[in-house]
Amino acid sequence: MQRIGLYINRKKEAAEKVARELITWLQHQGKEVYLLQRQTRDLGLPGQGLDWDDFARHIDLAIVLGGDGTLLAAARYLSPAGVPIMGVNMGHLGFLTTAEPANITFALTQVLAGDYCLDDRLMLESSVLRNGNKVYGYLALNEIVVTKGAFARLIRLQTFINGEYYATYP
């Protein structure tokens, strides 16, 4: 793994500090470090950064600094490219973000040496169709919530699993 992408939740306390330290550490390991355009700009780092599509295509590993919500957001964009994600818990609990800032270099040393296990997760895809035309699509890890909009009305849901029809509600 040579090309490492960082995705940072700047709202998390200490995330910027950890990101800067991690960038320095990774560069000393001879790794190429990539960030998103807005994060590069917001952190005042050199370089232009990448948009999500280029970010996903150019990296071998994504390190997500944030909480489970940050990891879920990153997974939505990175999963189509098959990029493995390592979550660093910058929050309180961290069910999905298992590494901690205090042991990040130890954990990364193991990952970069190939000493890790991948935990494949199921991704869910939803689509909103109007008159048979797709007007909105969404990719998610774990769950998709269907709620009413401004006007409550009965909706019809068709469920497919791996492309096979499963059920219609109601």
The tokens for 19 are: 């990101």
The tokens for 56 are: 């996903």
The torsion angle over the Cα atoms of residues 97, 101, 102 and 107, rounded to 10 degrees, is 60
Judge contact between 110 and 124, C-beta under 8 A: no
Q: Is 53 a catalytic residue?
A: no
Inter-helix orientation angle 104-112/15-28, to 10° = 40
161's enclosing H/E stretch is strand 157-161
- List, edge to edge, every strand of the sheet that includes 32-35: 32-35, 3-8, 61-66, 85-89
Judge contact between 48 and 37, C-beta under 8 A: yes
Strand ranges (E), 9-84: 32-35, 61-66
**Active-site residue, from 68, 115, 119, 120:** 68
**Active site (catalytic) residues:** 68
